Structure 1
Amino acid sequence: MSILVTGGDGYIGWPTALRIATRTDERVVVVDNFARRGWVEEVGSTSAVPIASIDERLDAAREVHGCSNLSLVEGDLTERSFVDQLLQVHEPSAIVHTAAQPSAPYSQINGERANYTQHNNMQATRNLLWGLEEHDMTDTHFIETTTTGVYGAPEFPIPEGGAVMEHDGERDDVPFPAMAGSWYHLTKSHDAANMRLAHKQFDIPISDVRTAITYGTETEETRADDRLKTRFDFDYYFGVVAHRFAAQAVAGYPLTVYGKGEQRKPFVSLEDAVEGLARLALQDPDERPDDLTVYNQVTRPIAIVEIAETIQEAAAAHDLDVDVTHVENPRDEDEEHEMEMANDRYMALIDEQRADFADGMADVLETLTRYQDTITAHEDRFLPDALKDDAEE
């Protein structure tokens, strides 16, 4: 028996695999085809933090944390024959499925990338779910990181997964309607529906972990050795807004807030996201839910202007004089949106928040100032148009 972590070379996948391996004697198998490294290179960017090869990472995990139970299988989850062999050989008790093309902007570049994103993401999930059914492994706990982006931005509070529909005097619980805003986010909406169908038809225990915008550079395990660091993307395509703001600060540019900046987005620290996934993977089969459970993996929503001001304050500790400026919002969005989202089930899973936003941003700036040359060399990959015009003058 083993625990599989798909996308185990990625930003969330690698530290999750590392945490699980430090807490169990069970075999933990990293599964990846290393496509993420290629996608980032394709858009002309790179990880700010140098990423060790997977062999170096595994060596460091054994040397530093004693993880002799951590290993790699390289392959493409969209290939049915590979998935079949993977499941038959390793007979997983749990699968933590973090493998995906995760960028909404990348999926929006053109039709080719939209098609690639949808095929890559949904085919991998379908292959795993059907593989569990066809190889008589329906007791395997299937845990997928979907996204809070499947909810869109409704004007009412978002429940943890479900909703109540009322019509003609009758009421029933129904899945929350998919309101995705990109070709990438729609893949996770489809995955959520496919997981629900797989649970209904195959009775697979499933945890749909709707992960919020994730920030941070370190977890408890990755701090121990530079070879264990996870990747850190700061470009427009693969870097989240907080990380792009931090890159602007390190490169000496003001932080550009669109419009009022009071629109709130759901966030979770890397440390808290990894903790939630690890706890699900390590649940005793007799104690875990045997149904489909939705977790809103979010600690709190944060306003864009608060992100900027928090980074401005943290930057002062590194002698960075950072301004916050408001520019015209090119997006059609409510600039005062509250983004209320229930997270009781997720918070009960992790017991308590392990890292807050201010500490996370201090960590990010501590990391990025070490690699300032890399940031400035790729500034054209993260500067908004308003700052690009200034840079060219």
Structure 2
Amino acid sequence: MTILVTGGDGYVGWPTALRIATRTDDRVLAVDNFARRDWVEEVGSTSAVPIGWMDERLAAAREAHDVHNLSFVQGDLVEKDFVDELLTVHEPDVIVHTAAQPSAPYSQINGERANYTQHNNMQATRNLLWGLEEHDLTDTHFIETTTTGVYGAPEFPIPEGGAVMENQGERDEVPFPAMAGSWYHLTKSHDAANLRLAQSQFDIPISDVRTAIVYGTETDETRADDRLKTRFDFDYYFGTVGHRFAAQAVAGYPVTVYGKGEQRKPFISLEDTVEGLAQLALTEPDERPDGDDGVTVYNQVTRAISIVEIAETIADVGDEFDLDVAVEHFENPRNEDETHKMEIENDRYMNVIGEQEQDFEGGVRDIFETLTRYTETIEAHEDRFLPGVLEDSED
């Protein structure tokens, strides 16, 4: 069996490929075009954690974990010829599709980057789905990390799958409507629709894994060797809120909360993210749950956390690392409900990973243990914490 992991150089993709390879003797092939490195450099930032190139990572995997079934191919999934060659040569039985331009702020900078994000993300997914059909590989289990951002912020509990629509006294379950709030998130809404269409037309088994905000620096495998570390972005464009707050704390800045900060967002640790994807990739066909209309939707989230709780947890844990972290509230420049209490169902995903491995406080502790080793890197890029910095970086 061959398991293909796209985005194999990325924050989630690399540790996912590594975990799968440690769990099976089957071949695991990571694919990437290294574009994430270019995007972060474009906005004037860098990964706080030094990350090696793939030959170094693969050597470390062999030495630290005796992994000999993990390999790498460089290429761009937007190019159909590359996808055709990839599928023809390797004939994957499972595809874990984590490759994407993943930043909402980056996609919002201007029309050029919005167009790029939508073309890059959606074309790659379509090429893979159509490639499976055209190369007679429709038994391949296609697992994609979309996003919980497709749901927006509704006032009702978010289901794990479809929604119920009612009109003129009649009710029916339908796919959840696209309520995305950025040009990036809308790419995943379109992907979700295309996944459903591909299942309907080609009968490809689909797992739509709607990923929450991922936090953390380590998995069990990456701890073994610094050469196995995954990237950690902390800038305004590619660093998620918890990661930016932690970097601010390490650099001696106050953690900045807009408004009340009581709105809750869905979160999941890197460890729990990787575990779920690995379990899905290695699950036999007859053991997979039946989804809605042949598509199984998983809400890849362990809990919702308020922004102010994130800030206060970072301040509390920071004390353990001799960091004097202040939490400061500023007027909110965004038009959002600062008290929205998101509720999101996740029973199906929790059944995949079993008991939750890591709580938020433990994830923050991991982050500080890592980031305090690279304080100089963070301080050298401290201006990247703030919005509106891209223009300066391009001067």
Whether the 8 Å CA contact 1:248–1:383 is kept in 2: the answer is no
> Which structure 2 residues correspond to residues 48-87 of structure 1 after superposition, within 5 A?
48-87=48-87
Q: Deviations over 1:86-111 (max 9, x none)?
A: 11111111000000000000011111
Aligned residue for 1:184, secondary structure, equals helix
Deviations 1:228-281 (A, max 9, x none): 000000000000000000011001111111111100000000000000000000
Find the counterpart in structure 2 of residue 390 from structure 1. none
What amino acid does structure 2 have at the position aligned with 1:76? Answer: D
Alignment of 1:320-359 (within 5 A): 320-359=323-362
Amino acid at match of 1:363: D
Is it true that 1:371 corresponds to 2:379 in the alignment? no
Residue 112 of structure 2 corresponds to residue 109 of structure 1: no
Q: CA deviation at 1:383?
A: 3.8
Q: Hey, what's the Cα distance between the residues in 2 that align with 1:64 and 1:369?
A: 24
Query: Which residue of structure 2 aligns with residue 303 of structure 1?
Result: 306
Counterpart amino acid of residue 299 in structure 2: N
How far apart are the structure 1 equivalents of 2:194 and 2:124?
12
TM alignment of 1:1-393, pairs within 5 A = 1-289=1-289, 291-383=294-386
What letter is aligned with 1:201? Answer: Q
Alignment size in residue pairs: 385
Q: CA distance change for structure 1 residues 345 and 289 in 2, over 3 Å: closer, same or farther?
A: closer
Residues 11-52 of structure 1: per-residue CA shift (max 9 Å, x gap):
000000000000001100000000000000000000000001
Aligned-residue identity in percent: 81
Partner SS, residue 209 of structure 1: strand
Superposition deviation, residue 169 in structure 1: 1.5
Cα deviation for residue 285 of structure 1 reads 2.2
CA distance in 1, matches of 2:164, 2:182: 25
Residue 293 (structure 1) shift: 0.3
* 1:391 alignment counterpart: none
> How many angstroms does 1:284 deviate by?
1.0
Shift in Å at residue 289 of structure 1? Answer: 4.0
CA RMSD of aligned residues (A): 0.9
Instruction: Say if 1:205 and 1:289, in contact at 8 Å, map to a contact too.
Output: no
Aligned to 1:389: none
Secondary structure class of the residue paired with 2:46: coil
Cα distance in 2 for residues equivalent to 1:287 and 1:204: 16
- Cα drift, residue 352 of structure 1: 1.3
Shift of 1:337: 0.3
Q: By how many angstroms is 1:384 displaced?
A: 6.1
- State the TM-score, normalized to the length of structure 1: 0.97
Question: 2:333 aligns to what SS in structure 1?
Answer: coil
Q: Which amino acid aligns with 2:83?
A: V
Q: Distance in 1 between matches of 2:285 and 2:61?
A: 27
- Tell me how far apart the structure 2 counterparts of residues 229 and 135 of structure 1 sit (CA, whole Å): 35
CA gap of 1:340–1:261, structure 2 versus 1, over 3 A, is: same
Unaligned runs of 5+ in 1: 386-393
Deviation at residue 149 of structure 1 after TM alignment: 0.4
Q: State whether residues 216 and 361 of structure 1, in contact with CA within 8 Å, keep that contact through their aligned partners in structure 2.
A: yes
Q: Residues of 2 paired with 1:250 and 1:128: CA distance? A: 41
Spell out, residue by residue over 1:126-146, the C-alpha distance to the aligned partner (whole angstroms, 9 max, x if none).
000000011111110000000
Q: Secondary structure at the match of 1:119?
A: helix
SS in 2 for 1:92: coil
Match of 1:294, SS state, is strand
> For structure 2, which runs of at least 5 residues remain unmatched after alignment?
389-395
Secondary structure of the corresponding residue to residue 93 of structure 2:
strand
1:338 maps to amino acid: K
Per-residue CA deviations over 1:121-170 (Å, capped at 9, x if unaligned) read 00000000000011111110000000000000111111012111111121
